């Protein structure tokens, strides 16, 4: 079956760095997305990785290792507004998006 695992909840301190991991087992792979979702709102796109390596975009970076079925989202200089759920999603061989359950990130002052 297809499966995406990410931690349910994480807590970090304002100004610090946090890494949210995502492991996946899917039938085929055509890219991995990270989305941010605030409570009661729709997801917003953060990053897309299809090749191995690190993609940096401002305070957010995303890493992918296809051989390990592994990705992480790195958030630097955390701000209170970064408190949200972070969703990992993988596009499989049928180009269908498979969603993880999301990681709720709590930022403390």
Partner 1 sequence: GAVVSQHPSRVICKSGTSVKIECRSLDFQATTMFWYRQFPKQSLMLMATSNEGSKATYEQGVEKDKFLINHASLTLSTLTVTSAHPEDSSFYICSAKTGGEFYEQYFGPGTRLTVT
> Residue 78: which residues within 8 A CB-CB, separation 6 or more?
12, 13, 14, 15, 16, 17, 18, 107
Q: Residue 96 carries which DSSP code?
A: P
Question: Is residue 70 exposed (0-12), middle (13-18) or buried (19+ Cβ within 10 Å)?
Answer: middle
Segment near partner 1 (CB under 8 A); pick from 13-21, 29-37, 52-60, 74-82: 29-37
Count of residues binding partner 1 (CB under 8 A)? Answer: 21
Segment near partner 1 (CB under 8 A); pick from 13-21, 52-60, 76-84, 94-102: 94-102
95 binds partner 1 (CB under 8 A): yes
Q: Least distance (Å) from partner 1 to the CB of residue 31? A: 6
Question: Cα separation of 102 and 95, whole Å?
Answer: 20
30 binds partner 1 (CB under 8 A): yes
Q: Please give the residue ranges that form the binding site for partner 1 (CB under 8 A).
A: 30-31, 33, 40-45, 48, 50, 87, 91, 95-97, 99-102, 104
């Amino acid at each position: 079956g297809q499966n995406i695992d990410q931690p349910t909840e994480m807590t970090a301190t304002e100004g610090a760095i946090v890494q949210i991991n995502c492991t996946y087992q899917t039938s085929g792979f055509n890219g991995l997305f990270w989305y941010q979702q605030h409570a009661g709102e729709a997801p917003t796109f953060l990053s897309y990785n299809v090749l191995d390596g690190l993609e940096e975009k401002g305070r957010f970076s995303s890493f992918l290792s296809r051989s390990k079925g592994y990705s992480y989202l790195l958030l630097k200089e955390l701000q209170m507004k970064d408190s949200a759920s972070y969703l990992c999603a993988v596009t499989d061989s049928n180009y269908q998006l498979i969603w993880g359950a999301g990681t709720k990130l709590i930022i403390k002052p």
